[in-house]
Structure 1
Amino acid sequence: MHYSTAAKFMERSAMTQLYRRQAMGLLKRQRFDSVMASSLTYRFASTIAPTAQAAVKPAVAEKAAHLEPTNATNEPAYKAHFTLSRIPTSENGEPIWENPINHAVYDLDKIATMEQTHHPIVKMHERVAYMAVKALRTGFDVISGYRGPGGAMTEKDWLNRCLFLESVAGVPGMVGGMLRHLRSLRLLKRDYGWIHTLLEEAENERMHLLIFMNIKQPGYFFRALVVGAQGVFFNGFFLTYLVSPKTCHRFVGYLEEEAVKTYSCLLQDIEDGHLDAWKEKKAPLIAQTYYKLPEDA
């Protein structure tokens, strides 16, 4: 019995050594084959005629000039990304401004003949949105001392009102676009254009703010008011949009109706001669670029 056990152990050891030798031989043969293949490739390349090598070099150079982005840490891929980007970049560090979201340019004749419109209140969410806008408008008019057209509002009063309104008006589009973006990711569904539309609206309102800031730079107290109003309005609109997006969209619609009334009063004051400085002042460069205005606008 002991003899058979020892024989089995010796037989197993011999088989293990045999397998190891076969594996080492196979590995050496594979390494030898790869070395021979590399050597043959080098010899074959060195025996190509000079004219053939000259013909190959332009193709290689052209391929190197158009490298495909394959690695985030690869320098050519890094350059290719920013070369193909729609947003311009500067290699010397100087800022380049170009709005990636173009604004629709309207015909001046159509703008002059355009009339104010009002969306009729039919459903409950429309009534809620309208009452909310009216309450905010009334409260803001009382706090800011708004006196309407007719010369009672000075240039400083109009600027402060426009700056504050535009700082808040850019919030709804960004909140709606962000939430619809997350909804599209969460439900694994397309959004069919709503995200881009809302983000364009947010960018449009932000550009209004930047245009007014070229006329006046607000002080620290004004900036503190903007921070507080933005925090309250952002969170309130965010929570409301989660519950009823339709109400928020109609809220923005009625809010824009009030904005049309405000800017119509401002234009009336300018045309009536109550704001002579604005009537003769040249439009800022950022406004000329954004609205594609002539240089003498």
Structure 2
Amino acid sequence: MKQITLAKFAARALFNGGRNYQCGHFSFAERHQHSGGFGSFHWRWMSTMPDIKKDQQHSEEEEKKNEVVNNNSNNVVVSSYWGITRRKVVREDGTEWPWNCFMPWDTYHSDVSIDVTKHHVPKSFADKFAYRTVKFLRVFSDLYFKERYGCHAMMLETIAGVPGMVGGMLLHFKSLRKFEHSGGWIKALLEEAENERMHLMTMVELVKPSWHERLLVIVAQGVFFNAFFVFYLIWPKAAHRFVGYLEEEALISYTQHLKAIESGKVENVPAPAIAIDYWRLPKDATLKDVITVIRADEAHHRDVNHFASDIHHQGKQLKEAPAPIGYH
């Protein structure tokens, strides 16, 4: 009889959606304790349904809480496990700092009083090789860009940011291999590379490169990086002299750019916001101000690399002379 009664209750439960059924003065929940087998399994299955709903409801509440937290924190994603957050950074006037690529302590006033006309007269074979190589490459860039000063500057900066990174990287690895300090030259060269990159970020705001110019940048950077990497490994004193002469050509290009602005060939448009913050320029700064500070930076890079080459020419290593850190 017990088996027949249990079968009836089981059938009724299956056909009526798994509800609790009353049998006399006690429920099926109580009866299953005496029946075992299928009834016990069926009750356990039914008893999990409210827990699943509770879990779903709990997860939905957590999602809503997370959305509220994210909205309150200006849509900043916060990792509850790692705890990685960016602290609020403000300008000197109290307004929020808008840039993630550099911070207020990375900004500076460029020394525009630096002599931009200095030239290192090539003397040794390494000097002459570096000088003539740069002059040879200059011919192709002038033929391609002509008087498109903005595009020329953009291409120049994609190349100019390579030597500092290559030199800093190789000196970094050398320091790791030999367990020795670099005399600050790793930092000095990486500062140079970062400064050149900021020149590029500024020029991109002023000049919108076309697809074929972007393609040219990719090809030129790929070729130049690998060539300079080998060049620096084999002949560092010539490599630094090469960069010094490359910066001298950059000074010539930027001086021509300034003359074009002054003569009216190039419109003296307002300076991009990124340039105003990076060089601490006045709010009403113009393109002429931007080109002036970039030219001053290039003059500093010229001096640093000629200085590095002179150290090598004296038969010394860079670490034996203190590096000029902190200009940028």
Q: What's the TM-score once normalised by structure 2's chain length? A: 0.56
Preserved CA contact (<8 Å) 1:173 1:201:
yes
Do the aligned partners of residues 103 and 95 (structure 1) sit closer, same or farther apart at CA in structure 2, a change above 3 Å counting?
closer
Task: Find out whether 1:133 has 2:134 as its counterpart.
Answer: yes
Task: Find out whether 1:284 has 2:272 as its counterpart.
Answer: yes
**What residue number does 2:200 align with?**
209
**What residue number does 1:105 align with?**
109
Alpha-carbon distance in structure 2 between the residues aligned to 1:115 and 1:213: 24
Alpha-carbon distance in structure 2 between the residues aligned to 1:83 and 1:207: 22
Task: Tell me how far 1:267 sits from its aligned partner.
Answer: 0.4
**Bigger helix fraction:** 1
Which of 225, 240, 258 is equivalent to 1:267? 258
Do the aligned partners of residues 107 and 236 (structure 1) sit closer, same or farther apart at CA in structure 2, a change above 3 Å counting?
closer
Q: Equivalences for 1:70-89 in 2 at 5 Å?
A: 78-79=82-83
Identity %: 43
Unpaired stretches in structure 2, ≥5 consecutive residues:
1-78, 90-96, 286-328
Q: Equivalences for 1:104-123 in 2 at 5 Å?
A: 104-108=108-112, 110=113, 114-123=115-124
Q: Equivalences for 1:1-297 in 2 at 5 Å?
A: 78-79=82-83, 96-97=99-100, 99-100=102-103, 102-108=106-112, 110=113, 114-142=115-143, 144-146=144-146, 153=147, 157-275=148-266, 277-278=267-268, 281-297=269-285
Look up the equivalent residue of 2:131 and give its one-letter code. Answer: Y
Preserved CA contact (<8 Å) 2:167 2:232:
yes
How many residues get paired? 199
Q: Deviations over 1:241-285 (max 9, x none)?
A: 11011111111000000000110011011112222x22xx21100
Task: Tell me how far 1:139 sits from its aligned partner.
Answer: 2.4
Alpha-carbon distance in structure 2 between the residues aligned to 1:99 and 1:145: 30
Task: Tell me how far 1:221 sits from its aligned partner.
Answer: 1.4
Q: Deviations over 1:46-70 (max 9, x none)?
A: xxxxxxxxxxxxxxxxxxxxxxxxx
3-state secondary structure, aligned to 2:106? coil
Do the aligned partners of residues 224 and 260 (structure 1) sit closer, same or farther apart at CA in structure 2, a change above 3 Å counting?
same
Q: Deviations over 1:203-257 (max 9, x none)?
A: 1111111111112221221111111101100000000111011111111000000
Do the aligned partners of residues 273 and 259 (structure 1) sit closer, same or farther apart at CA in structure 2, a change above 3 Å counting?
same
Unpaired stretches in structure 1, ≥5 consecutive residues:
1-73, 87-93, 147-152
Look up the equivalent residue of 2:281 and give its one-letter code. Answer: L
Task: Tell me how far 1:293 sits from its aligned partner.
Answer: 0.4
Across the aligned residues of Structure 1 and Structure 2, the Cα RMSD in angstroms comes to: 2.6
Task: Tell me how far 1:167 sits from its aligned partner.
Answer: 1.0
